[in-house]
Every structure is written in C-alpha cells, then in structure tokens.
Chain A
Amino acid sequence: MTQAQPLPFGTPPAPGFADAVTRSQQVFRAALQALAHPGSLQPLDGGCGVPPGLSPGMTAMLLALADVDAPVWLPPGVDDAVRQFLRFHCGCPLVDEPSRARFAAVPAGHEAPALDRCHPGDPAYPDTSTTLLLEVESLDDGAAVTLAGPGIATQRPLRVAGLPADFWAQWRANHRIFPLGVDVFLVQGNRLCGLPRTVLAEG
C-alpha cells in the first residue's frame, strides 16, 4: 500500500453557512425586506466561507437562494472554485444561458447580461423569471436616481456606482413589460438593495 500522497482529489471548497438553517433564513428575510422596500439597504450578515471572486454578500445570497430546483448562471471567466462551491453546497445546476437560469449572479469585474437576455417569466407564471444578482462597486456614491413605486411612500434616492452604462435605460424597458420582467438585487460587500420589476427609476 505505498502511494504518492496526498492523492489528487482536488482542493476542497470553502465552507458554507456554519448554521445553515438560521443563516439562510436570515438572508432570505433580508432579501424579502429588500424587495418590499426597494432601494433600501439591508445588511447581509454572511457567516459563511467565501470562494475567491465573490463578495461575502453575494455568497450568502447564493447559498440561501440557489438549490437543486434553481439553476444558476455565472458569467464565463468566473473562477472554477465558485462553480465547485455552488455545486457542493447548493447542488444547483449551472447553465450557459441567463434566460434558462432562475438566478444570474454577476460577481464584480464581470460583464452583466442585458436584462432582455434574462427570462422575463411566463404570462401565466410571471414568477418564473430570472432574478439578477449584481455585484456593484458602491451603494453610497455614483449617479443618483430617484425610485418610486410600490413599497416606497413617495420617492427614494439611490446612488449606485458600477452598474452597466445603459442599465437604467434597460430598467425602464424592463418596467414596461410588467407583469413580466426581471427582478434585480444589487450586492456590495455585506449589503443588499432590491429592485423589483415594479420600481420606476428616474434621473
């Protein structure tokens, strides 16, 4: 029984949630709050290992949301460790087209897919649309927009840096096809901002 050690079984993925039930419920709650109050910033207390290339918030969101029934799309060029991490902890299928994914996750430094490349949902089941998770540079500075719509009493300002150049133009087109459309989560570090398809953005 002599052999060259250690055996070539690859490097292990980063650990997931230490307390999977509690943590994923907390993250899910933060995601619900973020969609109920569009433009507000929700804290995401990760408590999980982070694979190279993802932020703690993005990792927590994927751990809480992705599972075997929720295919995930990642941009080409994302570190293989991220794919291994998701396969190990979430068991989610990884798909090649954002339109086939329930969650499209775009880590920092990768190009986001155009909103019309994502699945807008089916008229009978608008909830089957793709949800886009976008990692942005900052949720404190950058071009200001004014949000309005359900969940916002009058208006709410939002400053985001690091969005695709024509994001807000795409967003207006996305809003016009209501009740279809894509919902977006903006993630930065440990913070989360929700943009449901009902939100009107001006500015």
Chain B
Amino acid sequence: MQTTSPSSAADAARRAAWMRVLALAEPQALARAVQALGPLPAHHTLRPPESGMAMVRARSGGTGAQFNLGELSVTRCAVTLDGGTMGVGYVPGRERGHAEQAAVLDALLQHDEWHDRIQAEVIAPLARAHAERASHRARVAAQTQVEFFTMVRGED
C-alpha cells in the first residue's frame, strides 16, 4: 500500500478528476475521442470488464443521516501497459467497452508522453460536454420550480 504523503494525495486527486470525467462521459463520445487518438500502445487485460452493483448512499440535505438511495449498476475493468502501469476504469452502466476504454486512458494518462495530449484532446472536451449537459439539465429543472408564498394573516 502506498503512503499518503501530500504529493501522492495530490496525485490521487488529479487521477480521480480524470477518472471522473472518463466515467461520466457518454460512451459513444468517449469511443469517438479514443478513435481520434490513433493507434494506442498495446495493453493486457488484468481484469476483464465485469458488471456489478454499487449502493449509492446519500445524506438528506447534504448534512442529515446517511441513507441508501439506491443501487447503481457499475462496470469495472483493469488493464496494464507493457511498462507496468495499471489503469482502472469504473463506469456507471453496463457498457463493457466504456469501462475498458476508461481503463486504457487512465493508464496512458499516467505516462508523460501521453498525458498532455489526452488531457487536451479527450479529457477537456468530455469535461466540457458533461458540464454543458449538467447545466442544461439544471436549466430545464429550474423552469419547473414553483415558488410558494404564504400570505401573512393579520392576527391581532
């Protein structure tokens, strides 16, 4: 197990950020982006894509008691590159290809020669697309918002 020195915690946070983008990406958009990268180095499958379920837990209001919100199907995959780097993909849904591509990109992102290119050509556009989807959903939801006013009765 690795130590949690400040630098490795920062590395882990950076890795978590790109893994989040890869997981939240639309599978087709990710597949197109990977195709556009051209030939990628060979990888070996350490754990073939497999689907399972994860319990999503939440707190009411963000601060209340924890409760089980519901189960989410999750697909995970782990690959290694020839250099010995392990890439891991955990994605929502049951798209095996999505999990595998996320794992391969996670491994490549740990390498100098690929990191900047993948950040610029894959991660940044996918993160933008996700932010747009989220803000679109928020705007649609905002239209349905109802304001309730309580008339103050003149109690004397």
Contacts and interface: CB of A to CB of B under 8 A. Distances in A.
Chain A binding surface SS class: loop
Contacts of A89: 47
Chain B binding surface SS class: mixed
B86 A1 contact: no
Chain A, interface residues (CB within 8 Å), range: 10 to 19
Contact of B14 (A3, A11, A16): A3
B84 interface: yes
Given A3-B11, A5-B111, A16-B47, A10 B116 contact: no
B84 A3 contact: no
Given A6-B111, A16-B47, A11 B84 contact: yes
Contacts of B110: 5-7, 9
Nearest to B48: A20
A7 B112 CA distance: 9
A15 B44 contact: yes
B46 interface: yes
A9 B83 CA distance: 13
A13 B111 CA distance: 19
A12 B84 contact: yes
B115 interface: yes
Contacts of B1: 10
A14 B8 CA distance: 23
Contact of B115 (A1, A8, A88): A1
Contacts, number: 50
Contacts of B46: 12-13, 15-16, 88
B115 A9 contact: no
Given A1-B116, A6-B110, A12 B8 contact: no
Contacts of B2: 8-10
A169 B135 CA distance: 73
A1 B111 CA distance: 12
Contacts of A10: 1-2, 86
Contacts of A15: 44-46, 80
B15 A5 contact: no
A13 B15 CA distance: 19
A141 to B, nearest CB: 38
Interface in A1-47: 1, 3, 5-13, 15-16, 20
A105 B119 CA distance: 44
Nearest to B10: A3
Nearest to A13: B46
Contact of A7 (B11, B44, B45, B80): B11
Contacts of B112: 5-6
B85 interface: yes
Contacts of B111: 5-6
A89 B46 CA distance: 9
Contacts of A8: 2, 8, 11
B119 A1 contact: yes
A16 B11 CA distance: 27
B110 to A, nearest CB: 5
25 contacts: A1-B116, A3-B14, A6-B83, A6-B85, A6-B110, A6-B111, A8-B2, A8-B11, A9-B2, A9-B15, A9-B85, A9-B86, A9-B110, A10-B2, A10-B86, A12-B46, A12-B80, A12-B85, A12-B86, A15-B45, A16-B47, A20-B48, A88-B47, A88-B78, A89-B47
